[in-house]
Amino acid sequence: MHAYPDGTRAEPDKPRKQLGSEGNVRFLNSVRLWDFIEEREQRGVAQPQDDEVSELRELFMQMSGPGREESSGVSAQP
């Protein structure tokens, strides 16, 4: 609890709202760094699906394919 220099008690602040990653609203009075870190570690990270990774790999290969080499070869010639 907090008190002012004249001895009167300070009213606690209203709880802050925080929007979680799942879209839920949490009310926080205070957050300790360690608690925040532990919560993040326990949540885990969603792993991408194999088909999404394959699709992104194919898209990358198309974007960086021979078309780029041909255009760079043409611009390099006098």
pLDDT by residue (tens digit) across 4-58? 789 888 777 666 666 667 777 776 666 677 777 888 787 766 666 678 888 888 8
Task: Read off the pTM.
Answer: 0.24
And the tokens for 37? 């870190």
Residue 64 lies in a domain: no
Residue 62 lies in a domain: no
Total structural domains within the chain: 1
Residue 20 lies in a domain: yes
Residue 34 lies in a domain: yes
And the tokens for 2? 């907090």
Residue 30 lies in a domain: yes
Rounded to the nearest 10°, the torsion over CA 28, 29, 35, 38 is -10
Cβ-based neighbours of 10, under 8 Å, separated by 6 or more: 1, 2, 3, 4
pLDDT of 30 reads 62
pLDDT of 45 reads 64
> d(Cα 62, Cα 51) in Å, to the nearest integer?
17
